[in-house]
Structure 1
Amino acid sequence: MLSVDTSTLTFVGEGLSRPECVMATRSGDLFMPDKRGGIAVIRADGKTELIRAKNGPEGFLPNGFAVMPDRSFLIADLGPEGGVWHMAPDGTMTPRLMEIDGRHLEPTNFVGLDAKGRIWVSVSTKLIPREQSMKKGHADGYLILIDDKGARVVADGIGFTNEAIVDPSGEWLYVNETIARRTSRYPIKSDGSLGPRETFAQYGAASFPDGFAFDAEGAVWTVTVVSNRVIRTTPDGVQQVIFEDSDAGDNAAAEAAFQDGTYTRAHLDMGGRRPAGNLSGISFGGPDLKTVYLGSLFAPHLASFRSPIAGAPPVHWEF
């Protein structure tokens, strides 16, 4: 099976600022959030540009996002205003969802689109600042569904809700729980409500899952902050570390802090000292869906490598 060495990575894009999440399309264009306030695009010809938000909220920090059929975007704001915003192709911003159950949304982590046009939103924690929730056992994250019936919470009690994506079958919503260190999944009922949570993958020491993607064989490829790992988990639960760029001392320090309750944002950021830049996003792309692109919290570009296994086409692949 594939094993990737750091020295074999290639890099695309330049001057990116916090390309935390990656979306690839058949056209060859790659999209990612940018800390400068908008969406960065690496065009098929390799040129990088920034679609800057024209009228975003103060402190706007784009995080997880969805590419829409008209190449506009739904963006989760991890900044103080929080919520989900729509950004037109020219950068014009409009609030899409700012409150739920009469409560203003906290800083919001991710927003995704499924094949039925439903929107899934993840909020990692109700605590502000979010770093207060980075403790073993803490679980107050939740998931929101937006469909033709409106917006409603469909799951809660989640251990730092991160990316939430409907699988290629359309039958399951998969969710990375960063502080619970697992990938969970929920069966999706006909009315959009969710059945009971199941654990799809549990991760070990210093592996804090962030972004993920599905391959054509039904496996989940997860990237982890701190340890900069790419971990492939097959449907029968077999895990393989495809790639790792971490420091053993940093891993041990972060793990000890996590176990004794002293884990902080500084521990999470340790992975940023490595060339991989603290891996946080992953996408399959290229004409054959066999190029893997890696987003991160600190690198000014995307890392990439080739995979013998193709990715499953994401919802936005033809957009």
Structure 2
Amino acid sequence: MFSVDLSDLTYLGENLSRPECVLSTRSGDIFMPDKRGGISVVRADGRTELILGRNAPQGFMPNGFALLPGRSFLIADLGPDGGVWHMAPDGTLTPKLMEIDGKHLEPTNFVGIDAHGRTWISVSTRLIPREGSMKKGHADGYIIMLDASGARIVAEDIGFTNEAIVDPTGRWLYVNETISRCTSRFEIQADGSLGAKEVFAQYGAGTFPDGFAFDAEGGLWTVSVVSNRVIRVTSDGKQHIVLEDCDSAAVDAAEAAFQNGTYTRAHLDLGGKRPLGNLSGIAFGGADLKTVYLGSLFGSRIASFRSPVAGAPPVQWEF
């Protein structure tokens, strides 16, 4: 069974700041959010550039984001203003979606697009501060779908909504529920509404899923905060840990806290003390889509390794 050791990793990028999410393109450019208020780009020639947002709201915290044709961006703001912002290639920021059903959006986790021009937005919790939702059994996250007809909530009662991505078939929207510790999926209806939720993968002790990506064989690769795990889930639901970088005692402590109701942000951040910096994002790239890139909450570089399985081309691959 394929596995990766820390010694197998290579690194790219310089002086990155909280590269939480990773997007790749055929050109070889790699994109990630930057805590300083914009998007960092590692160019195909290895140079690192930072596109800072202009006129950003106070506390602007880029988190999940989408690359658009023309290489502008949609950015989910995890800061106090929340919502989704559009950032032009020169950094000019304009609000894209700031409220739903007449209510201002809470700090917003992720935004992605699909091949049909729809935008999918995840809000982890309605609680502010959001750390109050990091309790076993808490599930008040939701998903918004934005299309030409406007924005509407299409799924609710999610256990800390994280990345939400349409699969390569276009049939399913998958979502990682960090606190429910599962990957769920919803069948997408013709009008963009969602069918009933199905649990695709339920994870065990020490796994708190964050970002994920699809491979060309129908597998789903997810990364976990706390334990710094990369897990491949096959189409029939079988799981295999490809990579792990954790202090077992720290993971055990976080797991005990999760089970007894004392889990806090400090427990989630334990993975940041390890070399992989609390894994939170993953993407396939390289000319053959067999290079795996790993984003993190505390890293200053992007870790990468080679996979025997190619990734499925992401929606922005040709952008």
TM-score, with length taken from structure 1: 1.00
Alpha-carbon shift at residue 90 of structure 1 (Å): 0.1
Q: C-alpha root-mean-square deviation of aligned residues, in Å?
A: 0.4
What secondary structure is seen at the aligned counterpart in 2 of 1:196? strand
What secondary structure is seen at the aligned counterpart in 1 of 2:14? coil
1:280 correspondence with 2:280: yes
2:266 aligned residue: 266
Q: State the distance in 2 between where 1:17 and 1:229 align.
A: 21
1:9 aligned residue: 9
1:30 aligned residue: 30
1:248 aligned residue: 248
Question: Which letter does structure 1 place at the counterpart of 2:152?
Answer: R
1:314 aligned residue: 314
2:196 aligned residue: 196
1:18 correspondence with 2:11: no
What secondary structure is seen at the aligned counterpart in 1 of 2:82? coil
Q: State the distance in 2 between where 1:14 and 1:49 align.
A: 9
1:127 aligned residue: 127
1:60 correspondence with 2:63: no
What secondary structure is seen at the aligned counterpart in 1 of 2:194? coil
Count of aligned residue pairs for this structure pair: 319
1:97 aligned residue: 97
Question: Which letter does structure 2 place at the counterpart of 1:83?
Answer: G
Q: State the distance in 1 between where 2:112 and 2:57 align.
A: 21
Alignment of 1:103-118 (within 5 A): 103-118=103-118
Alpha-carbon shift at residue 203 of structure 1 (Å): 0.5
Alpha-carbon shift at residue 32 of structure 1 (Å): 0.2
Alpha-carbon shift at residue 156 of structure 1 (Å): 0.2
Q: State the distance in 2 between where 1:14 and 1:276 align.
A: 15
Identity %: 75
Alpha-carbon shift at residue 8 of structure 1 (Å): 1.2
Cα deviation 1:189-234 (Å, max 9, x = unaligned): 0000000000000001010000000000011000000000000000
Question: Which letter does structure 1 place at the counterpart of 2:69?
Answer: P
What secondary structure is seen at the aligned counterpart in 2 of 1:197? strand
Question: Which letter does structure 2 place at the counterpart of 1:147?
Answer: D
Alpha-carbon shift at residue 172 of structure 1 (Å): 0.2
Q: State the distance in 1 between where 2:111 and 2:54 align.
A: 20
Q: State the distance in 1 between where 2:2 and 2:75 align.
A: 33
Question: Which letter does structure 1 place at the counterpart of 2:176?
Answer: N
Question: Which letter does structure 2 place at the counterpart of 1:43?
Answer: R
TM-score, with length taken from structure 2: 1.00
Alignment of 1:230-241 (within 5 A): 230-241=230-241
What secondary structure is seen at the aligned counterpart in 2 of 1:185? strand
1:80 aligned residue: 80
What secondary structure is seen at the aligned counterpart in 1 of 2:256? helix
